[in-house]
Amino acid sequence: MKNHVTVGVDGSAESRAAARWAAREAVLRQVPLRVVHAVDWPLDPVLPGLGKQGADRWADQALTETAQELHRRHPHLEITTRCPTARPAAALAAEAADAALLVLGSRGLGGLVGFLIGSVALSTVVATDTPVVLVRMADDPDGPGTGIVVGVDIHEACDRVLAFAFEEAARRGCPLRAVHGWKMPPAYSYVPLFDPDNEREIGQSVTHMVDDMLLPWRHKFPGVDVTHSVFRGTAGEHLVAASRGAGLVVVGRRLRRSPLGAHVGPVAHAVLHHASAPVAVIAHD
């Protein structure tokens, strides 16, 4: 049974923020926390000029310091550490295999910097079916962020995405907001005189479909305060806007491969790089 939370650390401020977030999540779930540091020696750029023994000592120190800090914050939380020697993405994906959740740090989401960093995190996200949460250094687990935002797609079965979002909202006792972005059918771009009533009718129809999608989950989680927003436009943009002030954004990732390998999809990609809150990526069929 997957009954623990795993967090990847590397001694950076970003990974320490992820560890704090993961520890609070483990406390909320009442499960143990596993802290993992993957040593990719001799290729690890965080450890320039160190031999293998030095790299091992540095890794042990990073794990020890992180575990000690978390013990001070959560004295009753069960914490274990692991230090596999492998490429980080592969090691973290392997560690996530028996975890309920994997938490990783990110140097920042947004703009050019956000686009260029996080190759290990993105590689790990597409290498595991386990839910993955990316946390930035600015994401304080005890900060002011409230509520959960979840992206829904009426054209796909996203039960795993909604299950995760509703369970998190119930666990935290916070409101949940579902967001869906829709576009006009391509054929309408060829209509010279478009009737605005058609757009309103399509918007109402989409809203009803989102209502129907959420209905069984409302019944299953009657204590969760659920609202939904349906917008015409790109879903990623609306999710990024909705992330401001949120405690967590939940998006889905289809389990499929392109000719160039696995990918997270355009909506998840946009949210990962530009959202102003922690982002949970949930793999689904």
Q: Which residue has the higher pLDDT, 24 or 52?
A: 24
Q: Indicate if the pLDDT at residue 45 is higher than 60.
A: no
pTM, 2 dp: 0.86
Task: Return the CATH fold of 144-285.
Answer: Rossmann fold (3.40.50)
What share of the chain in percent tops pLDDT 70?
A: 78
160 token code pair:
């795993």
Neighbour count for residue 177 (Cβ, 10 Å): 18
Residue 15 to residue 134: CA distance in whole angstroms: 10
Q: One fold for both 1-142 and 144-285?
A: yes
Count the Cβ atoms, other than its own, within 10 Å of residue 42. 12
- Domain-wise residue ranges, the chain: 1-142, 144-285
Q: Is 207 exposed, middle or buried (0-12, 13-18, 19+ CB in 10 A)?
A: middle
Q: How deeply is 75 buried, as exposed, middle or buried, from its count of CB atoms within 10 A (0-12, 13-18, 19+)?
A: exposed
User: For residues 124 and 90, what is the distance between their CA atoms, to the nearest angstrom?
Assistant: 7
Total length of the chain = 285
Q: Which residue has the higher pLDDT, 179 or 55?
A: 179
**Is the pLDDT at 133 greater than 60, yes or no?**
yes
Query: What rounded mean pLDDT belongs to the chain?
Result: 82
Give the closest residue to 166 by CA, choosing from 156, 154, 152, 184.
152
- Of the two residues 247 and 181, the one the predictor is more confident about is 247
**Region 130-151 average pLDDT:** 82
- Angle of helix 159-172 relative to helix 13-29, nearest 10 degrees, comes to 80
Q: How confident is the model at residue 255 (pLDDT cuts 50, 70, 90)?
A: confident
CATH annotation of 1-142: 3.40.50.620
HSE-up of 58 (CA within 13 Å, CB side)?
20
Going 63 to 77 to 32 to 275, the CA torsion angle's sign is negative
Structure confidence at residue 113 (pLDDT): 34
The pLDDT value recorded for residue 89 is 85
Q: Which residues contact 55 (CB under 8 A, 6 or more apart)?
A: 39, 41, 42, 44, 47
Q: Where does the pLDDT of residue 187 fall: very low under 50, low under 70, confident under 90, or very high at 90 and above?
A: low
Least confident of 23-32, 253-262, 263-272: 253-262
pLDDT per residue as tens digits for the range 116-129: 335 778 888 888 99
Phi then psi dihedrals of residue 176, to 5 deg:
-125, 130
Q: Is there a contact between 277 and 145 (Cβ–Cβ < 8 Å)?
A: yes
Burial of 210 (0-12, 13-18, 19+ CB in 10 A): buried
201 phi and psi angles, rounded to 5 deg: -65, -40
Tell whether the model's pLDDT for residue 78 goes beyond 70. yes
pLDDT digits (tens, 9 = 90+) for 19-35: 999 999 999 999 999 99
Q: Which of 107, 105, 67 is nearest to 88 (CA)?
A: 105
What band does 186 get if pLDDT is binned at 50, 70 and 90?
A: low
Residue 109 backbone phi and psi in degrees, to 5: -115, 120
